[in-house]
């Protein structure tokens, strides 16, 4: 029997066909496993957490998330992995091998599935749909993360303060608020950021790039969030209301700042003189009274100011002089 199975791999004989989709297999047990993709049958359950799997091998791999077992080791750097395939992919980091190339843009990848996901940036294909709100996604993992918005599930917890997150990358970003780590640096001005996306946004202050356009008036913005807030100036929508006085705001953060006029809360403290402020921006401006920093300069006479509005008022001196000349 073993000899017969072995021969089928050479001859390409696939005598076992799926009645649902027509896929063919050389071995009966492979057909049996495939059939579970249609029946959703998951006969192998984890005794620790109850997770269920369609294949015994997948359960075996899953168990290692509980035991911490990592039987596959890299002979170069001795990193360990719970799956053999992960070790194989890891080896590409040493060899720099990227055997899978995109036929459209030439970008190369170390893993075939990474190429497959990348290709969807060209085809715009989004094969994974949310059954609750019908949002579509190009990656299964992105859909999985999205589903947590509906379920409220937060799997990743901070060991320092206990705050929970639905995505691992959100936890990683949060941890930097404790470690103060800022691994992303601007090559132009050396400003540092804890998030790569913040660096990307910051770079636009140097390049002047404003990729987000208002469809109503054509105003351009460097951040999508700023465009969103701007759109409310057209709709006049003010969805955030103060529970104390009823005043409404177009932005949630404006409501938060306004609420402090009632609570008298001043959460921002100057480390030099211990003055307190209700807004972070006000503290930032105040710090300049200690540092002497004057970042706003007049283009006509070169005089500098610590506040933008002071420069604006000053500029009127020059525009008045021009009016007197004419």
Please report the pLDDT score of residue 326 as a whole number. 47
Express each pLDDT in 14-34 by its tens digit. 778 888 888 888 888 888 888
Instruction: State the residue for tokens 């059954």.
Output: 131
| Position 5 confidence tier, pLDDT thresholds 50, 70, 90 | very low
Judged against a pLDDT cut of 90, whether residue 180 lies above it is answered with no
Judged against a pLDDT cut of 60, whether residue 322 lies above it is answered with no
- 39-56 as b/e, with b when 16 or more CB fall inside 10 Å? eeeeebeeeeeeeebbee
Q: How many CB atoms lie within 10 A of CB 182?
A: 14
DSSP E strands: which ranges in 77-130? 80-81, 100-101, 108-109, 128-129
Please report the pLDDT score of residue 241 as a whole number. 92
Please report the pLDDT score of residue 251 as a whole number. 82
- Asked if 234 and 216 touch (Cβ cutoff 8 Å), the reply is yes
Please report the pLDDT score of residue 10 as a whole number. 55
Q: Is the dihedral of CA 98, 196, 194, 158 positive or negative?
A: negative
Name the strand (E) or helix (H) holding 151.
Answer: helix 140-151
Judged against a pLDDT cut of 80, whether residue 286 lies above it is answered with yes
Judged against a pLDDT cut of 80, whether residue 280 lies above it is answered with yes
Judged against a pLDDT cut of 60, whether residue 140 lies above it is answered with yes
**Which CATH number belongs to the domain containing residue 55 in this structure?**
3.30.160.60
- Token pair of 174 as six digits: 């949060």
- Asked if 262 and 244 touch (Cβ cutoff 8 Å), the reply is yes
Judged against a pLDDT cut of 70, whether residue 79 lies above it is answered with yes
Instruction: State the residue for tokens 């719970």.
Output: 82
Judged against a pLDDT cut of 80, whether residue 324 lies above it is answered with no
Classify residue 240 as left (phi > 0), alpha (psi -120 to 50) or beta. Answer: beta
Q: Identify whether 266 is part of a domain.
A: yes
Alpha carbons 235 and 230: distance in angstroms, whole number? 9
Judged against a pLDDT cut of 90, whether residue 237 lies above it is answered with no
- 145-169 as b/e, with b when 16 or more CB fall inside 10 Å? bbbeeeeeeeeeeeeeeeeebbbee
Judged against a pLDDT cut of 60, whether residue 1 lies above it is answered with no
Q: Identify whether 128 is part of a domain.
A: no
Same domain, 313 and 279: no
Domain that holds residue 247: 240-291
- Token pair of 69 as six digits: 């077992």
Q: Identify whether 307 is part of a domain.
A: yes
Express each pLDDT in 202-230 by its tens digit. 999 899 999 999 998 989 998 888 888 88
| Position 12 confidence tier, pLDDT thresholds 50, 70, 90 | low
- Asked if 280 and 268 touch (Cβ cutoff 8 Å), the reply is yes
Please report the pLDDT score of residue 235 as a whole number. 81
Please report the pLDDT score of residue 323 as a whole number. 53
Among 99-103, 180-184, 190-194, 320-324, where is mean pLDDT lowest? 320-324
**Residues sharing a CB contact under 8 Å with residue 138, sequence separation 6 or more, in sequence order:** 117, 120, 121, 125, 126, 127, 128
Mean pLDDT, residues 301-316? 88
Same domain, 246 and 284: yes
Same domain, 212 and 247: no
Same domain, 275 and 316: no
Please report the pLDDT score of residue 27 as a whole number. 87
| Position 318 confidence tier, pLDDT thresholds 50, 70, 90 | confident
Please report the pLDDT score of residue 11 as a whole number. 54
CA distances from 228 to 61, 149, 151, 214, 317 (A): 44, 20, 26, 9, 36
Please report the pLDDT score of residue 195 as a whole number. 87
Judged against a pLDDT cut of 50, whether residue 297 lies above it is answered with yes
Same domain, 251 and 210: no
How many domains does the chain contain in total? Answer: 4
Name the strand (E) or helix (H) holding 190.
Answer: none
Q: Identify whether 163 is part of a domain.
A: no
Give which of 82, 76, 29, 81 is closest to 59, Cα–Cα. Answer: 82
Q: Identify whether 217 is part of a domain.
A: yes
Q: Identify whether 194 is part of a domain.
A: yes
Alpha carbons 23 and 31: distance in angstroms, whole number? 8
Instruction: State the residue for tokens 């460097």.
Output: 222
Q: Identify whether 64 is part of a domain.
A: yes
Q: Identify whether 53 is part of a domain.
A: yes
- Asked if 184 and 196 touch (Cβ cutoff 8 Å), the reply is yes
Mean pLDDT, residues 290-307? 88
Mean pLDDT, residues 63-83? 89
Name the more confident of 5 and 235: 235
Express each pLDDT in 90-134 by its tens digit. 888 888 888 889 999 999 988 888 899 999 999 999 999 998 898
Express each pLDDT in 144-161 by its tens digit. 888 888 888 888 888 888
- Token pair of 62 as six digits: 């899953």
Q: State if pTM tops 0.75.
A: no
């Amino acid at each position: 029997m073993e000899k017969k199975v072995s021969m089928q791999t050479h001859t390409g004989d696939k005598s076992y066909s799926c009645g649902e989709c027509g896929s063919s297999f050389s071995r009966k047990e492979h057909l049996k496993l495939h059939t579970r993709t249609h029946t959703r049958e998951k006969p192998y359950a984890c005794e620790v957490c109850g997770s269920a799997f369609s294949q015994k091998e997948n359960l075996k791999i899953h168990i290692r998330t509980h035991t911490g077992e990592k039987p596959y080791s890299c002979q170069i750097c001795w990193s360990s992995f719970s799956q053999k395939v992960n070790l194989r992919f890891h080896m590409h980091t040493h060899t720099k091998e990227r055997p899978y190339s995109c036929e459209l843009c030439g970008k190369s990848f170390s893993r075939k599935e990474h190429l497959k996901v990348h290709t969807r940036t060209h085809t715009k294909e989004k094969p994974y749909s949310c059954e609750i709100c019908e949002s579509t996604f190009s990656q299964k993992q992105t859909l999985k993360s999205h589903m947590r918005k509906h379920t409220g599930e937060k799997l990743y917890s901070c060991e320092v303060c206990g705050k929970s997150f639905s995505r691992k990358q959100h936890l990683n970003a949060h941890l930097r608020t404790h470690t103060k780590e800022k691994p992303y640096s601007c090559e132009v001005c050396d400003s540092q950021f804890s998030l790569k996306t913040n660096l990307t946004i910051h770079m636009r202050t140097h390049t002047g790039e404003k990729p987000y356009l208002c469809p109503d008036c054509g105003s351009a913005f460097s951040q999508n969030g700023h465009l969103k807030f701007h759109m409310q100036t057209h709709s006049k929508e003010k969805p955030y209301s103060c529970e104390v006085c009823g005043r409404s705001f177009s932005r949630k953060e404006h409501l938060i700042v306004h609420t402090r006029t009632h609570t008298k809360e001043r959460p921002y403290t100057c480390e030099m003189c211990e003055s307190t402020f209700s807004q972070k921006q006000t503290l930032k401006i105040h710090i300049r009274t200690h540092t002497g920093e004057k970042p706003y300069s007049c283009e006509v006479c070169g005089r500098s100011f610590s506040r933008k509005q002071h420069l604006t008022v000053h500029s009127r001196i020059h525009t008045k002089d021009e009016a007197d000349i004419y």
